[in-house]
Amino acid sequence: MPLRAAAHRTTPVCDSEWLEYTSNGRQQRVAVESSAWYAWLKAPTHTTFYFMSTSGTFTARREQRRARSYWYAYSKKAGKTRKVYLGLVEQLSLERLLQAAASLADQSTSITLLLRTKFMLPASRVGLVLRPQLIEHLNNQRLPLILVCAPAGFGKTTLIADWARTQSHPLAWLSLEPNDNQSNRFWSYFLTALHDVAPKAAAEALALHTQSIALSHVLISLVNGLTSVNQQLTLVLDDYQTISDPTIHHDLTWLIDHAPTGFQLVLLSRSEPPLPLARWRVAGHLNELLVGMLRFNKAEISAFLSTTIQLELPDETLANLETRTEGWIAGLQLLTLSIHGHNPLAAIDLLATSSGNQRAIFDYFTQEILQKQPLAVQQFLLQTAILDRLSEALCQAVIDPMVLAALPASTSGLLDYLERSNLFVRALDPKQHWYRYHQLFRESLLHSAEQHLGKNGMAQLHGRASVWFEQAELFTEAINHALAAADFVRAGALIASIGFRLLLSDQSALVQAWLQALPTAIIEQNAQLCLWSAWLLVSQNQLAATSHYLNLITGLLACMNPEDHQTASVNGHLRALQANIARRQGDMPQALALTNQALSGLTDAHTILRSVITRNLCAGYLVSGDTVAAEQALQQSLHEQELLELRVSSGDSHPSDRQYARTTRLLLWIETTSLRWLQGQLHAAADLYRQTFHLSREQHQHSISAIACVNLGQILRQWNNLAEAREFIQQGNVYSQQIGADVTHRNGLIELARIQQAYGQREQARTTMAQAVELAQSTRGLLWATTWQARLQLAQGDLAAAIRWAQAYQRQPNAFPQFNLYDVEDLTLARVLIAQGRVNQACALLDLLLPACQTAGRLPSVIEVYLLQALALAANNDWTAASNQLLHALSLAEPEGYIRLFVDEGTPLADLLVRLEPQVQGTLRQYIQRLLVACGLSITSEPYIFGSSLNGFIEPLSERELEVVRLLAAGFSNQAIAYQLVVTLNTIKTHLKNIYGKLAVTSRTQAIARARSLNLISHDN
């Protein structure tokens, strides 16, 4: 039973879309934030529900306080119950529920690790000059893109922030910086900014991005989310000129081209971005504000001077000022700071001669702004110029203690003073905890700082900043400052401490960039840096290149203290690396030996590494087809998973560790179900696949959902539930295409082609199988796809094509000894040999396969070998031996209900079944009768219908149809049955139509009564 279904029976369950509960034995649901939702919350009998989302989960309870009812959210973590106030009924919006879930879950990984001040709308400035004509220009037409492009100091940010405050629809703000010029980081901020103001639109895309799904599919999800909310939404990207990565420009172009009409992007940039602006202009999709429109005119210059310094100038002076400054707003602001005690016209002349000259601008800042400040303030400005953002604690950690002692006020008071003095400092949050310098001002300060402090002085500042960021657990900034200080030893140590965690969270590009910035000697003297370098090479399948680092690690280990904790960790990593390489090379005995060596030296404190090691070993045994060893490895992996989940539930673990634990739990479920399938336990595998699909869908883990759908469809096809199998496989293919999971998509297409062949859709089956072959990229994947294509060709009578495949397969050596699961190639070859009449060769091949499959515990392959042996013997007219082998196959297949394995063999197998059926009794005879019905043959002897003895033959119900009948008898509605079985309502209606026809009834009541009379369901059901 799906996990969600089990929860329905006790407590109502709510997600981001629906509240579902049971009333009078029937399953009901209402949309969140609908009138029915608030009515349900007000009902006196409704006092609790369970909320689940990607942000977190909690139990909501209604409590009485002073004659009024209030809702609270509860969550138990590490033995402690935490409580968050939700509010009155009318306050229970989806946004409030998501906020509570995130609060109880200590926020999601993506939100925790991002700097929140970057999403804040800049505060309104004192002395702001209103520009109604530009606001009107922005509001006149709502186009997909607004581009505000002008050099620094022309008021781009101030104007758009002022415009943003006039908008009534959701508007997100993101201030970019040079560190964001990396695709993964850029889109993390981009999606989080949208999620903050429109969670319904961006939740799924953000969840997919945190799972490292291909960006193209994340953007498809975002477009779908924006379309579904059907509302106006604007995102402002400030300082877009800091982005130079061509992939970001390319992906942003795609998004602008495909976004729905309600979405609008606003770009603020100092230079024209490399986007297809000409095409968008012609298409009428671009609204531009360029430097000519942003320049202050005389009236605005007059208003600015009047507001800031209460100075009224004659028209002639204003016109001269407009000409000389060219409406440069920053220049005017500089002027107001420099004319105190000076002749205003002299200051204007000085500014005019400096315009457009970078060195002159720096000199102007230095002479007219910096040097006019007290000496301690000058030192404060120079020493904090290295910081992108400033806070009291950060500044106190970075600046020299003597400078700090000489400051006229506390650091926070000084930052506030600098902002109020318009000294190019801006508060980034309403509480004024974080500030930033105007970019030009900071560039000027950096220029002066390099001259006054020198290389060593700058390095000391960066070093102090690195220490502070490390203590604040902002390791990215800590490493960047350490590299800027050329403190490569410190940078290497920091990278060594967090590198593995970043590799697991798919930030390998960032780790690789850091490693490339380090001197080779630093890496080669640090065992962990050598490890991360080797892991990067393994992830890129450059196995031979790892030997250099493996040798270095071995040498470094010899010099380390054997009793040291770090020594055990490095040794464990080394063995894990070697085991991974051995597994990829197909040497499973060596992989097992190395894995055991790694685990023996690692304590329970290394839970993540132990989890990685055991999962790799389990995966290796699975692809090798050794179910006995895979079972042992799986149990070990599950044990390590429990230890991992226990550790991350303590509350002090890193957010990325918690995300990793959730993902690996689902991956272990997939490996468990795959193993059960290999062991022939179809029912156990199907049940777990359904649970995995349901939970992975709730968590937006589409890669896992895709695997669960395709593999469940494979089992349903085997049970001859073709309609439902096709529905799951098509859904799995959709997921696979969205996330770029080509292997899963290829397997889904193969299964879909087999279903189409079962329906008699020969041409569609050939086309679909050809698509699977085309999608196969690796050599191994191509062999897999062409093997199934050969089976299809054989089934359609194209023996010549199948022979060509067999000849090609026999010519090539086994390049993949580690891939034995399913034995599909050799079993297909045996079929081709039988079809050619080369029965003796087929029997010899099958005789070799049988003991290997039996020893490895691959029951489906064992059944198939017996079946093919029976067909081969029958081809030689050895009916007695053929019947014996077929009996072996049937005896093993009957408990799990294999159908298509036999039916797909066609007439030769059906003839054998007809011969065998009168000779057996009991359940085996009943099973043969079911197979004959599935083959479309009539039965002359007494038929069997799932335990009943009837004089007239009735077509038996399938396993899924029996399940539907049981739910009918339990009182479930059609919609509730669909939810329980994780299928669509139309599928349930199709099942009911088939059930009515087979039982010769016309209503649900008659169907239930008829099923009970035939003992298909118990009378207690």
Residue 949: band (very low, low, confident or very high) from pLDDT cuts 50, 70, 90: very low
Separation CA 290–CA 376 (nearest Å): 40
* Contact present, 495 and 479 (Cβ < 8 Å): yes
What pLDDT is attached to residue 756? 94
Q: Helices in 505-625 by DSSP H: which ranges? A: 508-517, 520-524, 527-539, 546-558, 565-584, 588-600, 607-624
What pLDDT is attached to residue 842? 93
**Where are the strands (E) in 831-965, listed by range?**
none
Q: Is 278 left (phi over 0), alpha (psi -120 to 50) or beta?
A: alpha
Residue 411: band (very low, low, confident or very high) from pLDDT cuts 50, 70, 90: low
Q: Which residue has 């050809």 as its token pair?
A: 770
- 488, 480, 485: which is closest to 460 by C-alpha? 485
Helix/strand/coil for 691: helix
Separation CA 708–CA 704 (nearest Å): 6
Q: How many residues does the chain have?
A: 1021
What pLDDT is attached to residue 770? 93
Residue 291 burial (10 A CB sphere; 0-12, 13-18, 19+): middle
Within 10 angstroms of residue 641's Cβ, the number of other Cβ atoms is: 20
Q: What is the share, in percent, of the chain residues with pLDDT greater than 90?
A: 28
What pLDDT is attached to residue 930? 87
What pLDDT is attached to residue 883? 92
286-326 pLDDT, tens per residue? 998 887 788 777 777 777 766 666 666 667 666 766 665 66
Give me 322's structure tokens: 């407009």
Residue 77, pLDDT above cutoff 60? yes
Residue 714, pLDDT above cutoff 90? yes
Beta carbons within 8 Å of 834's beta carbon, 6+ residues apart:
842, 868, 871, 872, 875
Residues 721-750, mean pLDDT to the nearest whole number: 88
Q: What is the share, in percent, of the chain residues with pLDDT greater than 70?
A: 84
Separation CA 94–CA 16 (nearest Å): 7
Number of Cα atoms under 13 Å in the Cβ half of residue 510: 24
What pLDDT is attached to residue 571? 87
Helix/strand/coil for 985: helix
* Contact present, 706 and 714 (Cβ < 8 Å): no
Residues 547-564, mean pLDDT to the nearest whole number: 88
- Picking from 197-201, 816-820, 1005-1009, which range would have the lowest pLDDT averaged per residue? 816-820
Q: Which amino acid is at 106?
A: D
Separation CA 515–CA 513 (nearest Å): 5
Residue 1007, pLDDT above cutoff 90? no
Give me 937's structure tokens: 């043959």
Separation CA 401–CA 224 (nearest Å): 54
Residue 461: band (very low, low, confident or very high) from pLDDT cuts 50, 70, 90: very high
Highest mean pLDDT, choosing among 125-134, 168-177, 624-633: 168-177
Query: Which long-range contacts link 809-812 to residues 24+ away (Cβ below 8 Å)?
Result: 809/783
Residue 688: band (very low, low, confident or very high) from pLDDT cuts 50, 70, 90: confident
Separation CA 766–CA 754 (nearest Å): 9
C-alpha Rg value of the chain to the nearest Å:
35
* Contact present, 81 and 75 (Cβ < 8 Å): yes
Q: In what order do the strands lie in the sheet with 145-149?
A: 171-175, 233-238, 263-269, 145-149, 286-290
Within 10 angstroms of residue 835's Cβ, the number of other Cβ atoms is: 18
Give me 1021's structure tokens: 């059901």
Across the strands, what pairs with 268? 148
Give me 589's structure tokens: 């005995």
Beta carbons within 8 Å of 788's beta carbon, 6+ residues apart:
750, 753, 754, 769, 772, 824, 828
Across the strands, what pairs with 173? 236
- Picking from 53-62, 179-188, 713-722, which range would have the lowest pLDDT averaged per residue? 53-62
* Contact present, 751 and 715 (Cβ < 8 Å): no
Residue 354: band (very low, low, confident or very high) from pLDDT cuts 50, 70, 90: very low
Residue 769: band (very low, low, confident or very high) from pLDDT cuts 50, 70, 90: very high
**What is the rounded average pLDDT for all residues in the chain?**
81
Residue 249 burial (10 A CB sphere; 0-12, 13-18, 19+): middle
Residue 24 burial (10 A CB sphere; 0-12, 13-18, 19+): exposed
888-930 pLDDT, tens per residue? 999 999 999 999 999 999 888 888 888 888 888 888 888 998 8
Q: Which H/E stretch holds residue 206?
A: helix 199-210
Residues 505-518, mean pLDDT to the nearest whole number: 83
Residues 268-274, mean pLDDT to the nearest whole number: 86
Say what the alpha-carbon torsion angle 253, 254, 260, 266 is, to the nearest 10 degrees.
-20
* Contact present, 385 and 458 (Cβ < 8 Å): no
Separation CA 864–CA 874 (nearest Å): 15
* Per-residue buried b or exposed e for 139-154, using 16+ beta carbons within 10 Å of the residue's own CB: eeeebbbbbbbbebbb
Give me 124's structure tokens: 């309104």
